[in-house]
Amino acid sequence: MNEPDHVDPLAALQSKLSQKWTSIEHSAGAATRITRKLEKLLTGSSTSDTSIVVFGSLARKEWTSKSDIDWTLLVDGQADPQHLEIAQKISGQLTEGKFQAPGASGIFGNMTFSHDLVQKIGGREDTNENTTRRVLLLQESTTIGKPDAQERVLRLIISRYLKDDRGLRFGTVRYKVPRFLLNDIVRYWRTITVDFVDKQRGQAGHGWGLRNAKLRMSRCLGSA
């Protein structure tokens, strides 16, 4: 039996409301073109135990001329000094390709290890950076090149959330909301709203409007 054709939710919503959102469509088309360009630029940089994962406006298909590339080299395998060399090579290639580098927070533009994302959920070792990477991996991420590592890590993270949720395991109701996962998404939302104030203060108010709009629109919808 043939699988049903994929329906673009944005196109379906426009059709239902008899609307045409040209700017949104333009950004989605630009994101697709940039993704293809990155796939050509970074050919051979991902392996069976690594994935080049991008987040932010590119993953959400909201790309504009001012967007940067929020990326990480997701490592799901044995420790290997070559992983750092691959990450450095990717950074250099993006610079040569005239792509805007990620912000100075250090969350993106480097390596991320699957062990931290899967094993360090909650507790003192689950830093803001680790929480951000994990929740964004679930909510708004896509791969450039081989997706093997990303797909494995996503399955493991979801498995952790579901298996450790006692309400799901021992509850009597057949269908329940995974509270463990929901609480972590809320915790991430609280983290970025507090960080918003810190960034506003640290950057003397520059970029306030764009960050405010992101919190009110894209990231708010992604967390809903």
Q: pLDDT tens digit string along 116-138?
A: 999 999 889 999 899 999 999 99
Q: Which is more confident, 83 or 174? A: 83
Exposure b/e, 137-154, CB count within 10 A at least 16 = b: bbebbbbbbbbbbbebbb
Does the pLDDT value for residue 5 go beyond 60?
Answer: no
Q: Which is more confident, 166 or 45? A: 45
Does the pLDDT value for residue 166 go beyond 90?
Answer: no
User: Nearest CA to 53 among 39, 76, 69, 72?
Assistant: 72
Over residues 139-148, the mean pLDDT reads: 95
Supply the pLDDT for residue 170.
66
Does the pLDDT value for residue 176 go beyond 90?
Answer: no
* Predicted confidence band of residue 210 (pLDDT cuts 50, 70, 90): low
Over residues 89-100, the mean pLDDT reads: 95
